[in-house]
Amino acid sequence: MKTLLRKLIVMLPVGFQVLEDRGLLGTYSRFRKWENVNKADIKVFLVLCTAMGLMEKHDLETYWSTDQVLQTPGFREIMSRDRFEMILEMLHLNNKNNYIPPGRPHHDPLFKLRPILDSVLPRFRSVYTPHQHITIDEAMIAWKGKLRFRVYIPIKPDKFGIKTYKLCESVSGYTSTLSFYTGKRFDEHGFPVTVSTKEVVMGLLDKCNLLNKGYKLYMDNFYTSPDLMDTLLAEGTMLCGTARINRAEMSDAMKTKLGRGDRIFRRRGNLLAIKWHDKKDVTLLSTFHKAVMKVDISKADREGNFPVKPECPRL
């Protein structure tokens, strides 16, 4: 936290580039009242930002409202609205004069956040060691502003935003590390570079130094493939995940349509492939489960029948 505060205070003067871009200030511009900040100001600013995340309102000004129904206790007492908004606009995390535009060598799409990411992400990995069961999945950071790599995923609760790949502990949900999807990548000659889901998974595991330690990884069908299973098994890491039947090296038996209650098992060494019919056909790959089905007593259908599913641990 101390390191983060020092970086924020050091980078705050860069915010004067905002004034340079604005040019001559108006007679009644609030920036004429600007005063330099100190560590206490940054602490108060971060506390208010955290409080806003806990008490969501429809706009920023509402937190400083004097209306008895809308007002938020504490905000007006510890920092004025103009002071907060000036710090918010002035605060930069990197010097934009060092920004390299897209299409040039060494361009960093996350340039504006890079100092904070380089400071915070290693902390995620160093302060907590996840238990044996871990998972990798996508998450969305809600964002509707202008951004070159903003994505739209209709099945997510936040449909517009920044897509991230997160490595988390399955039991607690603790995030060990994450990476950002920043759009298409290009090599030094300007040709597009395809980044596979296998590279995403291996990159996250390697970044956290979790390979060759006996971890058990769970994923959905966006990532799971026989090739990835073999690679992880060679790296001392086991994997269980739903899979798409059109993945390379999938058994032809997995492409068979099943009826209610039907199931198929196939094994290749330590790799087990299971397909069964639940409400629809479901395909699962695992390198540490047995070809055993069991009754799921946690729920029943309308007729009182309990579904039969693979004997996989429910986390």
Same domain for 70 and 110: no
Q: Is 33 or 112 the better-scoring residue by pLDDT?
A: 112
305-314 pLDDT, tens digit per residue, is 777 788 775 5
Percent of the chain with pLDDT over 90: 42
Cα 135 to chain centroid distance, Å, stands at: 12
Q: Does 264 reside within a domain?
A: no
- The pLDDT assigned to 295 comes to 82
Q: Rounded distance, CA 281 to CA 262, Å? A: 9
Q: Does 233 reside within a domain?
A: no
Which of 27, 59, 92 is where one domain is finished? 92
Percent of the chain with pLDDT over 70: 88
Which of 92, 125, 156 is where one domain is finished? 92
Same domain for 110 and 88: no
List the domain range (segments joined by +) for residue 135.
101-210
Q: Does 146 reside within a domain?
A: yes
Segment 176-183 shows an average pLDDT of: 92
Same domain for 121 and 184: yes
Q: Is the pLDDT of residue 279 over 90?
A: no
Cα 43 to chain centroid distance, Å, stands at: 26
Q: Is the pLDDT of residue 218 over 90?
A: yes
**Per-residue DSSP letters for 29-51?**
-GGGG-----HHHHHHHHHHHHH
Q: Does 282 reside within a domain?
A: no
Tokens of 77: 């007492």
Q: Rounded distance, CA 237 to CA 251, Å? A: 22
- The pLDDT assigned to 7 comes to 52
Please give the mean pLDDT across all residues of the chain: 85
Same domain for 106 and 75: no
Which of 210, 226, 247 is where one domain is finished? 210
Same domain for 202 and 120: yes
Q: Does 223 reside within a domain?
A: no
Q: Does 283 reside within a domain?
A: no
Q: Does 291 reside within a domain?
A: no
Same domain for 131 and 84: no
Same domain for 74 and 140: no
- The pLDDT assigned to 315 comes to 41
Q: Does 256 reside within a domain?
A: no
Q: In this structure, are residues 309 and 294 in contact, taking their beta carbons and an 8 Å threshold?
A: yes
Q: Could you tell me which of 159, 92, 137, 167 has the C-alpha nearest to residue 242?
A: 137
**Per-residue DSSP letters for 115-176?**
HHHHHHHHHHHHH----SEEEEEEEEEE--S--TT-EE-TTSSS-EEEEEEEEEETTT--EE
